Structure 1
Amino acid sequence: MPLITYLPGSTALVLDSPHSGTVYPADFRHACELAVLRSAEDTHVEKLYDFAPALGVHWVEAHFPRSYLDANRNTTEMDVGLLDGPWPGPVETDPKILSKVRLGKGLIWRTTDEGVPLYDRKLGVAEIQARIEQCWKPYHAAVARAIDAAHKAHGYSIHINCHSMPAVASSSATDFPGEAHADFVVGDREGTTASKALSRMVCEHLKARGYSVAYNHPYKGVELVRRYSRPAEYRHSIQLEINRKLYMDESSFALTPGAESLKASLRSLVERLLKTDPRAM
């Protein structure tokens, strides 16, 4: 299986799923059990949106796991303590961004959400560079290509960065451990990656379907919405987090009956976005 799928669409809407990958490369050489690693996945997110390509939506999906390389982080978010030598590239210095690296959640994860170490060894610099070349660069190129194509064809683009989150935040996952999450979290980095009117429409649509919705808390959006959004040019990007309790058993990873009703709600949101021109908002 390829490490990335990009299905070009014909509409102004782009969806991407950077964390639902389940193809664990042979060179991962992780020390913890696979079942422990799997808790890092945005499990089944790609299934929740599998209707989208048929509607003309651009779709980008990572098949490599988030714990191997997190495509929603910048290449500067490097935990240099993991490496067996000096990192030759730039390293992030922003304290806000570094807080995630300190949690073990940089570009290359050091620990699971529960604080379990992923490795019992130092990682080679060349090893990480290879992951960037094989995973990060192609994924970001596909997202950029999809957004550019949507914008060129329609004069605007709406990008939804698709994620899932645990029902309750784990000890090493966020700055808010133990917090019970809403059904959805809509993030636009405090109105900097999408128009607030568009984000508000997404929130209100989901609330009208009976869901609890939080806005920019505890997830504001990270690298993929930051990098490819320019709202002033009608390039809008929103991170959408779905509570896993709505569609799966978090212990067994099995889909639950709630997945079908959730998928119907997501389809209604996608159909609403396909009819939305943010230039008129």
Structure 2
Amino acid sequence: MSNSYQLHQGSVPLLISMPHNGQEIPQDIASRMTSAAMEVPDTDWYIDRLYDFARAMGAYILMPRYNRYVIDLNRDPKGVNLYPGANSTELCPTTAFDLSDIYLAGQQPDEQEIAGRVEKYWQPYHQAIDNTLQELKKTYGKAVLLEAHSILSHVPRFFEGQLPDFNFGNGDGISCDAELLAQVQALDYSPYTMVTNGRFKGGFITRHYGQPASNIHALQLELSQITYMNEPSDQYNEEKAAQVKEKLKMLVQCLINFSRC
């Protein structure tokens, strides 16, 4: 446990990381942000609520306290763009998904402040990921990491048109065993659409920690928020969520089964 994240201890070799689930902004940062940014519109809304069933299934669950506007936990700390040539937000974002400014004029973080945020917020979360995966591997001989994300179905900054519902990524094959991906792809996601390694191939966490040769397998799911929310608002839709949860339960069980074999 840390004051910057929560780690639920599980009983199976599956860790579900939710790096964009946090909503808080420290006051010293909030005082320099725009009123629109204070609403943290680019949050992966309700991911903890959507995966609440996973605790009873034995999964370890890791969630940050603070919002991605403080620091993006799924970015390379050196600021490397994982999608060369594509429009992407920074390690410490200065613009929202709609390209509006996050900070008041002249109030963006400088290099020294960004380094401080890496140490204070980024490092503890990643240490928790690494420690947990190593513990699971030592105990069970294998570890599986599910990177749980969500995003609006329409974000022109990042992709054209409407995003598929289930967007899986394993870094074009590098972060998990091909058999695991095949089992995930073989599940029945209907009536939802599904794609693998499309616009979202897995962020820094998936690509960095997924080491299938060492029996650590990582997979990212970017879920379209239209499957469980009343877009374009941030309202949770119970009926929609109940339906998509059945598919998520199926996915989590698949990952658990793989982790045990």
For residue 55 of structure 1, what is the aligned residue in structure 2? Answer: 57
Give the C-alpha shift of residue 184 in structure 1. 0.4
Q: Which moved more, 1:104-113 or 1:134-143?
A: 104-113
Q: Aligned-pair distance for 1:104?
A: 5.5
Give the drift of 1:56. 1.7
Following the alignment from structure 1 to structure 2, what is the Cα–Cα distance between the partners of residues 277 and 58? 13
Q: Distance in 1 between matches of 2:256 and 2:58?
A: 9
Unpaired segments of 5 or more residues in structure 1? 78-91
> Equivalent residue of 1:40, what SS?
coil
1:181 to 157, 163, 168: 163
Of the candidates 232, 236, 239, which is equivalent to residue 251 of structure 1?
232
Using the size of structure 1 for normalisation, the TM-score is 0.84
Residue by residue over 1:41-72, the C-alpha shift from the partner in whole angstroms, topping out at 9 and shown as x without a partner, is 00101111112122221111012111211000
Aligned AA (2:214)? E
Report the equivalent of 1:21: 22
8 Å CA contact 2:20–2:44 kept in 1: the answer is yes
Distance between the aligned counterparts of 2:250 and 2:234, measured in 1? 25
Question: Does structure 2 retain, via aligned residues, the 8 Å contact 1:194–1:235?
Answer: yes
Q: Secondary structure at the match of 1:59?
A: strand
* 1:102-251 equivalence runs, <5 A: 103=87, 105-119=89-103, 120-121=105-106, 122-171=108-157, 174=158, 176=159, 178-207=160-189, 209-251=190-232
CA contact (8 A) 1:8 1:146 kept: no
Amino acid at match of 2:209: Y
- 1:87-102 matches, cutoff 5 A: 92=80, 97=83, 99=85
1:96-124 superposed Cα distances (whole Å, 9 cap, x missing partner) = 55646xx4511111211111111222424
Comparing 18-27 and 119-128, the one that deviates more? 119-128
CA deviation digits over 1:20-54, x for unaligned, max 9?
11112112234322467522100101111112122
Q: What SS does the corresponding residue of 2:150 show, helix, strand or coil?
A: strand
Number of equivalenced pairs: 256
Amino acid of the residue matched to residue 230 of structure 2? Answer: D
Query: Which whole-Å CA distance do the structure 2 matches of 1:37 and 1:222 have between them?
Result: 24
SS of the equivalent of 2:168 reads: strand
Match of 1:85 in 2: none
Give the share of equivalent positions with the same residue, in percent.
26
Tell me if the contact between 1:104 and 1:111 (Cα under 8 Å) persists in the aligned partners: no
Q: CA separation of 1:272/1:123 partners in 2, compared to 1, >3 Å: closer, same or farther? A: closer
Secondary structure of the residue that 1:276 maps to in structure 2? helix
The verdict on how the C-alpha distance between 1:237 and 1:229 changes in structure 2, with shifts beyond 3 A counting, is same
* 2:145 counterpart SS class: strand
Quick check: 2:183–2:254 contact (8 Å CA) kept in 1?
A: no
Q: Which residue of 2 aligns with 1:88?
A: none
Alpha-carbon offset, residue 142 of structure 1:
0.9
Q: Which amino acid aligns with 1:186?
A: F
